[in-house]
Amino acid sequence: MKDVDVLILVGVALCIGLFVAVYLPWIFIRGKAATYDPYDKLPDEGVNGWLLLMLVQVFSITPIYSSIQFLALLKTVNELRSQAFTNFAYSLVALTLAIIILAWKFHLPLITTRSRKAVSDVKRIYLLLPVASTLGFYLCSVMFLESTLPSVHRASVSELPRLFFSSAFGAAIWYWYLSKSKRVAVTYRHSEAEMKKSFSGSRSEEPSWSFQKQERSSFVDPSQQGGTFEPPVTKPLKTPFEEFPEVRVSRYELETAAGRPFDRDLWQECLSRSNGDEVAAMAQYRLRDGR
């Protein structure tokens, strides 16, 4: 009975761990990428699928796994009670934290931008990661263990091939995915010049020109009332995102029709001017010059 209870506790703990380490970051990263660009509506476009799994691994799974390794390393430190090995362990912790922070820095633009350069930077990181991690581990061992704990140093050096190939295997998989994935090619297709023009990060809350929307009221002939004609009462249009929250036209379709990078402010103006008619708004967008 006790064994069954232990298995149940392990199963519950595993489910909670997967929920915290995978599901919550999955939802958060996907929502963050969607708020950046709500016009990604194509099935093969946007941060999802294997691309999203790669980001969850970088931002959640790898830090959690590294924390577990740190705890095991601290247990070894307490058993050996050697100042040299303690310094070696702390140097490995610092090296791992530096690699994680560097990985966060280069993977974050995959969520907040649609630039081809972001993909190139991440691929470069995956090329350098196996060499950097293996070389850093070797240098830490030489600095703190070679002269004081030669047997531990030799054991550490014997682990270098396993460390290199384990990190190179994962890096090679994601490098191949970023190079061959259709989703990555469709989602990140803008150059730096196009990004500065179309995705500056600023979004106007109102169109650049004044647009008035008429109240719904029946027209009455002034001659029948014996009075003067008065125009119907108007009120300013709400923010386009409030007035037309469901946008069915994708950014890819707008870029294909207009033959230029997507201009968010111009699309808002055309959508407001057409009173929510996306077909008319798309025709206006195609004929208007991007600003």
Residues 92 and 58 placed together within one structural domain of the fold: yes
Residues 95 and 120 placed together within one structural domain of the fold: yes
Residues 25 and 81 placed together within one structural domain of the fold: yes
Residues 57 and 135 placed together within one structural domain of the fold: yes
Cα distance between residue 97 and residue 102, in whole Å: 8
Please tell me the total count of domains within the chain: 2
- Final residue in a domain of this structure, among 159, 194, 229: 194
- Residue 59 above 90 pLDDT? yes
pLDDT given at position 187: 83
Provide φ and ψ at 117, rounded to 5°: -65, -35
Residues 139 and 107 placed together within one structural domain of the fold: yes
Residues 279 and 151 placed together within one structural domain of the fold: no
**Position of tokens 């232990």?**
6
- Residue 260 above 90 pLDDT? no
Residues 160 and 112 placed together within one structural domain of the fold: yes
Residues 182 and 49 placed together within one structural domain of the fold: yes
Give the lowest-confidence range in 30-39, 221-230, 268-277.
221-230
Residues 175 and 259 placed together within one structural domain of the fold: no
Q: First vs last Cα of the chain: how many Å apart?
A: 72
Torsion sign over Cα 191, 194, 200, 205: negative
- Final residue in a domain of this structure, among 194, 222, 243: 194
Prediction pTM value:
0.64
Interval 158-186: pLDDT, tens:
999 999 999 999 999 999 999 999 888 88
Mean pLDDT of 131-137: 93
Give the confidence band of 147 by pLDDT, cuts at 50, 70, 90: confident
Structure tokens at 10: 């392990």
pLDDT given at position 192: 60
Residues 21 and 102 placed together within one structural domain of the fold: yes
Interval 198-235: pLDDT, tens:
444 444 443 433 344 444 444 455 555 555 545 544 44
Cα distance between residue 20 and residue 195, in whole Å: 34
- Final residue in a domain of this structure, among 168, 194, 220: 194
pLDDT given at position 96: 93
pLDDT given at position 119: 93
Q: Which domain holds residue 77?
A: 2-194
- Residue 149 above 80 pLDDT? yes
pLDDT given at position 201: 45
Residues 76 and 133 placed together within one structural domain of the fold: yes
Residues 162 and 74 placed together within one structural domain of the fold: yes
